[in-house]
Amino acid sequence: MAALQPVRGTRDILPDDNRGRRWVEQMAFQTAGRYGYGEISTPVFEFTEVFARTLGDTSDIVTKEMYTFQDRGGDSLTLRPENTAGVVRAVISGGLVQQAPLKLFYRGPMFRYERPQKGRLRQFHQIGVELVGVAEPLADVEVIAIGADILAALGLSDRVVLELNTLGDTDSRMAYRDHLVAYLQDHRDRLSAESVERLARNPLRVLDSKDEADREVVADAPLITESLNDTSRRFFEAVVGGLETLGIRYRLNPHLVRGLDYYCHTTFEFTTEALGAQSAVLAGGRYDGLMKQMGGSPTPGTGWAAGVERLAMLVEGAPPASRPIAVVPVGETAEADALRIAQRLRGAAFVVDMGYSGNVGKRMKRANRISARAAIIVGEDELARGVATVRDMDTGEQQEVSLDILEEHLAPFR
């Protein structure tokens, strides 16, 4: 019988890989916390409508990538492909709108059925922030600043570029839609079949097409910045001014859009050239229409999401695993006391390893194999005198230390 294997597009995250991933999440959580963001955790599956209604029935995510299934009660459920919709659903169903502004941080697995690629599997992990209930441009500045600070904490500031654009308000967006449709209709015969379908239902999605022929057409399409009204221009100028006040560098990218109708005003991505074609590592924007679209009261919102795996691939400064202290009993009679010593040290916040069997030689080999920082050797003779032999595994030096001051002596090895 063949050994069982993980499902294609998933992988086991072993301790060494998990260390980098946890480092990314820890830095993000701490940074967001300094801005007053609290953590929210939503279910990994929702009613399918949560995503179908918000992401749009013409999006690739809905039509090609969602893991959707019917449960035993006959309900259609979907593993979350992203988490903004789930967070907003939680705000609505939890009656939290009256507590706005809501500053929320999340982390966890997402699921999309797509071709596995570098930095993106079918089960992947994201971190993200959502600021709900603030209509002012300062909210956009704040969430971008959080992203910039997280990337700086990870040592990535010099490896990423902030790309920035505006979608304008509803009036500007509709004016742009008219200009875009007119242009695309003139080049309809050059578009892919999928983009022709989108042209009738959600033309801005054509701008997201990965088809080469579509991209050639889009390259000369009118820019949304040409359709902005005064309100939209002032909003974007305030965002840009806030970023400049904070010293956050950016690059204007008039082709950066979001294809969903609930997006408006600011849209942004932190991109890198270090991951090949998958260049975005953190991306977001303002979504003032999402709450209403999901059945709640009209409420502004802005936020972003970032791929943990992609960030972990870029990070070079994740702290190494703590080197343990090995407790080595000499003979069976010393094992009970050695066990008590190991537990006592763990209670004092030391990382402690105690081999399960073997003579002193085998246990010391294990101490070397796990890269122990020090070894505590205890035998009947040492225990009778109330001492233990402590060996510095890096220098080989060893000395007898009173059990009463063992924690103090080991402090440099923590």
* Pair of tokens at residue 67: 């893991």
Q: Quick check: 128 and 83 in contact, CB under 8 A?
A: yes
**Other residues' Cβ atoms within 10 Å of the Cβ of residue 114:** 15
Q: Tally the C-alpha atoms within 13 A of residue 186's C-alpha that lie toward its C-beta.
A: 10
- Provide the residue type at 152 as one letter: A
Beta strand 280-286 pairing with 264-271: antiparallel
Mean pLDDT value of segment 219-246: 94
Per-residue pLDDT at 306: 97
Sheet bearing 398-402, strands edge to edge: 352-353, 325-329, 374-378, 387-392, 398-402
Q: How far apart are the C-alpha atoms of 108 and 44, rounded to whole Å?
A: 8
Other Cβ atoms less than 10 A from the Cβ of 32: the count is 25
Q: What does the block give as tokens for 323?
A: 């080197």
pLDDT computed for residue 57 by the predictor: 59
Tokens matching residue 392:
């510095």
What is the token pair recorded at 347?
């209670």
The lowest-confidence range among 54-63, 118-127, 204-213, 348-357 is 54-63
CA 98 to chain centre: 28
216 Cβ contact list (under 8 Å, min separation 6): 190
**CA separation for the pair 180, 300 (Å, rounded):** 26
Q: What is the DSSP letter of 191?
A: S
pLDDT digits (tens, 9 = 90+) for 90-143: 999 999 999 999 999 999 999 999 887 766 789 999 999 999 999 999 999 999
How far, rounded to the nearest angstrom, does the alpha carbon of residue 125 sit from its chain's CA centroid?
Answer: 6
Residue predicted with more confidence, 79 or 358:
79
Report yes or no: 309 and 119 within 8 Å, Cβ to Cβ.
Answer: yes
| pLDDT at residue 398 tops 80 | yes
Q: Residue 56: its pLDDT value, please?
A: 65
What fold characterizes domain 15-169+229-314?
A: BirA Bifunctional Protein; domain 2 (3.30.930)
CATH 3.40.1440.10 fits 325-413, yes or no: no
Over residues 268-286, the pLDDT tens digits come to 999 998 877 658 899 999 9
Angle at 155 between CA 153 and CA 160, to 5 degrees: 105
Every domain of the chain and the residues it spans: 15-169+229-314, 325-413
Instruction: Say which residue the tokens 């294997």 belong to.
Output: 5
The Cβ-side half-sphere exposure at 69, using a 13 Å CA radius, reads 7
**67-70 sheet: strands from edge to edge:** 45-47, 76-79, 67-70
Distance separating alpha carbons of residues 85 and 108, to the nearest angstrom: 14
Q: Which H helix or E strand runs over 160?
A: none
Amino acid identity, residue 254? P
Alpha-carbon span 129 to 303, nearest angstrom? 5
Residue 210's pLDDT is 78
- Residue 185 neighbours by CB distance under 10 Å: 11
pLDDT digits (tens, 9 = 90+) for 35-54: 999 999 999 999 999 998 87
CA dist 140 and 221 (Å) reads 27
**Of residues 271, 248, 252, 281, the one with CA closest to residue 161:** 271
pLDDT tens-digit map of 273-323:
887 765 889 999 999 999 999 999 999 999 999 999 999 999 877 788 889
pLDDT digits (tens, 9 = 90+) for 209-230: 778 888 888 888 998 888 999 9
CA–CA dist 106, 376 (Å, integer): 42
In whole angstroms, what is the distance from residue 185 CA to residue 191 CA? Answer: 9
